[in-house]
Chains A and B, each alone.
Chain A
């Protein structure tokens, strides 16, 4: 694979909440490669949103980076303090599409004005007429008919799916290098979801943008991503290409996550769910954070945090099960079926 465009090293991020500290990201390491589509999956509270917000400096004021670095084009984003530094990144280098299109547009400004704002912020050399042409062009690109007329309308005159198209237009208006999609389809109804995903996918491909999807919907992941990072309790527990994660998963958490896919459930049987609750990140986590919920946990898992075991140049996982001294453990039946490709993921 080619050069990493963004490189996160040993990132530790904490939130101070009512006198307590929450360790939201624990030694996260992640390389994002140019032109790829990376999906970050994990349950709510696993830190996937927090991680991507670090790239834009959008975390709440009570969150602070304790150690680690985020390298982007020779700059360390983790060391950014001033707003003026972030303004060089936000929208221009890294853009974001947010979860809920119903609330992510300013209700009092026209659609056109909101896209124009973004164009004017980052491309100051354009004349107003050029900017307007560009704005209409963007609307056209995201599949909005009659852009001339629609640009003069307000968000409340658009449906949810249309608004998400506008949000995408805003994000892509300045030709960013990285596009972060924070659960871009969660708030949309199912029929629209596929359209929006397809739109993002084609636009990203056409303009060679690196995309990072955040989602807890593995169906979405299977659809769009080339590489998958699985997050649990503020840490990436397994990362690999989509093939590797879906057909050769190694971490018990990835097994559990895949097993709870409704597509893999057998009709008439209870759908799998992961027992217990996520690790308490206010307290210090000893060993593997997933151990208490892990039916395959070894004694070692409670004592020492597992390192990454490399399975292939692209695939690594953080579990003691992969250690040479560990007993051989068979993954659950559903996962073995997946590995033998007996299940159709899109079905």
Chain B
């Protein structure tokens, strides 16, 4: 566990230090792959890539503009104790008195260097990226495991529901989905925490060294997405089952099991696959509520704390990380979908159609 942990921590540090480079690298790689493997997707991928880069630029600009309009105390540590001259001096040293376009240029330059500035309130004068690097790995591991768990629970459940419509598993699954969607997450999270810890006779809080304490937070985190995977898969599979090509496949003698997997499941999975990278990345970014419930020292609570403290550089970095995660997730989802579904082909070929 410890060695694994160190590995993840190292990964986290590396990622947070070079995040923008990495994002760009991923984007370029994705584009390259699309270029090589799926020639017909080239134009689509490039278009999609361009859109992503543009979105990223817009987000950077918006974050920049918003934060320059925040009260200046967010940029200066120990604001209350300083005199007016000292504050001005500080602002000047940070380059915040320069004209806005110059500030923006410097901001961009620093971004590409991976320099997000120093924390002003949360942990004074420490590099923002260092703070995040400490927090991110734990959220990452928890997120990846809970994502895997939700897929493992949600996909078979959805498939079973569709296969035996109206029978036990369908009813069970429907009850589960309705419960998860109707009851506020906070309520069942607390129930799971209280009764779960009691049942397993462990502490309420999470401790890194004790694998048993990992179970409940991961389980809680995976419930929501498991329910939605099951719900959507069931729906898409039932859609497919009633289609003509399934009837033709049956008529040509494809046995039920093969029919379900080779035709129904595969085709139903296409519309779902689009959202999986995005949701993976979001779970990696940490669950706000569960992390605070089990006092997990992850990334989820950091943003809220930073906003509360008005630690502008930290907020700025976090907001950009979250939006990058979103953009990359959507991009990957679209590319994945395009590779799987041959109909998504935005290049017009003459003659065929």
Query: What residue in chain B is nearest A56 (Cβ atoms)?
Result: B251
Nearest residue, chain B, Cβ from A103: B244
Does A106 lie within 8 Å of B263, measured CB to CB? Answer: yes
| Number of interchain pairs (Cβ within 8 Å) | 75
In the assembled complex, B36 has its CB within 8 A of some CB on chain A: no
Do B267 and A106 have beta carbons less than 8 Å apart? yes
Chain A CB within 8 A of B95 CB: no
Q: Which of B245, B247, B255, B352 has the most CB of A within 10 A?
A: B245
Residues in chain A near residue B209, CB distance under 8 A: none
Given contacts A58-B247, A98-B247, contact A107 B343 (CB under 8 A): yes
B263: A residues at CB distance < 8 A: 106
Query: For residue A171, which residues in chain B have a CB less than 8 angstroms away from its CB?
Result: 252
Bound complex: CA A83 to CA B256 (Å) = 8
Given A58-B250, A103-B243: A156 and B343 interface contact (C-beta under 8 Å): yes
A89: chain B residues at CB < 8 Å are 253
Binds B, one of A115-123, A127-135, A295-303: A115-123
Contact assessment for A118 and B253 in the assembled complex, using a CB-CB cutoff below 8 Å: yes
Partner of A107, one of B252, B267, B352: B267
In the complex, per-residue mask of A89-122: 1 if CB is within 8 Å of any chain B CB, else 0: 1111001101110011111100000000110011
| Cβ distance B23 to chain A, nearest Cβ, rounded Å | 31
Q: What 1/0 mask marks residues of chain B from 248 to 277 whose CB sits below 8 Å from any chain A CB?
A: 111111111000001100110010000000
CB nearest neighbor in B for A153: B352
Q: List B contacts of A108 (CB < 8 A).
A: 266-267, 270, 340-342
List, in ascending order, chain A residues with CB within 8 A of B352's CB.
Answer: 153, 157
**What is the distance, in angstroms, from B106's C-beta to the closest C-beta of chain A?**
50
The CA of A58 and the CA of B262, in the complex, are separated in Å by 19
Partner of B254, one of A58, A96, A117, A156: A117
> Is B270's CB under 8 angstroms from A106's CB?
no
Name the distance in Å between A43's Cβ and chain B's nearest Cβ.
Answer: 22
Q: How far is the CB of A150 from chain B (nearest CB, A)?
A: 10
Q: Give the nearest-CB partner of A171 in chain B.
A: B252
Q: How large is the interface on B (under 10, 10 to 19, 20 to 34, 35 or more residues)?
A: 20 to 34
A154 at the B interface (CB under 8 A): yes
Q: Do residues A121 and B252 form an inter-chain contact, with CB atoms below 8 A?
A: yes
Is there an interface contact between A104 and B253, defined as CB atoms closer than 8 Å?
no
Which residue of chain A has the shortest Cβ distance to B345 in the bound complex?
A156
* Chain A residues within 8 Å of B84, by CB: none
B353 interface residue (CB < 8 Å to A): yes
| A108 to B340 Cα, complex, angstroms | 8
Question: Please, how many angstroms separate the alpha-carbon atoms of A121 and B256 in the complex?
Answer: 13
- From known contacts A156-B342, A156-B343, A157-B353, infer whether A104 and B254 are also in contact, taking CB-CB under 8 Å: no
A104 near B244 with CB under 8 A, answer yes
Among A83, A92, A108, A167, find the residue whose CB has the most chain B CB atoms closer than 10 A.
A108
For B251, the chain A residues whose CB sits under 8 A away are 56, 58, 90-91, 95-96, 98
Given pairs A58-B251, A154-B343, A156-B342, 15 additional interface contacts (CB within 8 A): A91-B251, A96-B248, A96-B251, A98-B244, A98-B248, A103-B243, A104-B245, A105-B248, A108-B340, A108-B341, A108-B342, A121-B253, A121-B254, A154-B342, A156-B343
B contact set with A: CB distance below 8 Å: 243-245, 247-256, 262-263, 266-267, 270, 340-343, 352-353
18 residue pairs bridging A and B, Cβ less than 8 Å apart: A58-B247, A83-B255, A89-B253, A91-B253, A92-B253, A98-B247, A98-B251, A99-B244, A103-B244, A104-B244, A107-B342, A108-B266, A108-B267, A108-B340, A117-B262, A121-B252, A122-B253, A157-B353
List of 10 A-B pairs having minimum Cβ-Cβ separation, nearest first: A91-B253, A90-B253, A103-B244, A91-B252, A96-B251, A154-B342, A104-B244, A104-B248, A106-B245, A118-B252
